[in-house]
Homo-oligomer: A and B are copies of this chain.
Amino acid sequence: MRPLTRADRAQLAMILEVSAYPKPGNVDRCHDYETTRLEHFLASAILARPALEAAERSEGGPGALIHQAVECTSGHRGGNTHFGAFILLIPLLMGGDIPGATRVVGSTTVDDAVEFYRAFGKTEVRVIQGHELDVHDPSSIMEIRSRGMTLYDLMLFSAPRDMVAREWINGFEMTRRGADLIHAAGSGQQAVVEAFLGLLSLEPDTFVIKKHGPDVASKTMEKAREVREGLRDLQAFDQECIDKKINPGSIADIIIAALYIALGEGWEWD
């Protein structure tokens, strides 16, 4: 077999994440949401290819490449599928690994921030009212320019409230933990589920906070911990999350980045 490129690893990470089952509350092999289904995530993984390849060759800055990835994958009706994942994958593809990605995010520019905001405006990503620059307001981009904010600055600004942004600031800490959990669980899809539960039990999921508030996110984290300790049934927890539409999408984004890293370190998916 040909050796895997970084873009291959990123695409494999995306399909392995979404097809792993059961991932409490999220779209997986056995569960769709009404408007976002398994095949939207699978198609998104395929359609992202040109942006992932461009990132592997460092053709453009991280902001423009995230924008390109969003544009490549916005042609379906499934809404936002991989925006958070691209925020992590693009610097990882550019830098190769976590140390490389840390260098990439540390040298972003104001243009990266502007491109990122343009990409953001094309997604349906939830924002916490009043907390962030309004991506649908053209004056936000003028403000970014006048304040001289880089994309790293934007992530620093969002980090206290957003676990994906936090990865940029803290050296991809949860990504690293996720990859370690994957390695520890051994080869095959079950490792994805175990790593997902592991991260879910560590920190409240940002997407769940934005959608349901911090209490629900904290309770979900505690329940994930109970599943890991054998005190709660995984299938029942999954069903409860689905019934309440609690979908920990930020953890899923980080698991994709973790799979990218683990695959690069020799983890065997089958």
Hey, which bits of chain A sit against chain B, CB under 8 A? Answer: 1-2, 8, 11-12, 15-16, 19, 29-30, 37-40, 42-43, 45-47, 49-50, 71-78, 189, 269-270
A42 to B1, CA, bound (A): 16
Prevailing SS type, chain A contact patch: helix
Q: Does the CB pair A2–B77 fall under 8 Å?
A: no
Provided the pairs A47-B8, A270-B77 are in contact, do residues A19 and B39 lie with their beta carbons within 8 angstroms?
A: yes
Given A39-B270, A40-B270, 4 extra CB contacts under 8 A = A2-B47, A2-B50, A11-B46, A15-B15
Partner of A71, one of B2, B50, B76: B2
Report chain B residues within 8 Å CB of A50.
2
Chain B residues in 8 Å Cβ range of A30: 29-30
A-B contact pairs, 23 of them (CB 8 A): A1-B47, A1-B73, A1-B74, A1-B75, A2-B47, A2-B72, A8-B46, A11-B46, A12-B43, A12-B46, A15-B42, A15-B46, A16-B43, A19-B38, A19-B39, A29-B30, A30-B30, A37-B270, A39-B189, A40-B270, A76-B269, A77-B270, A78-B270
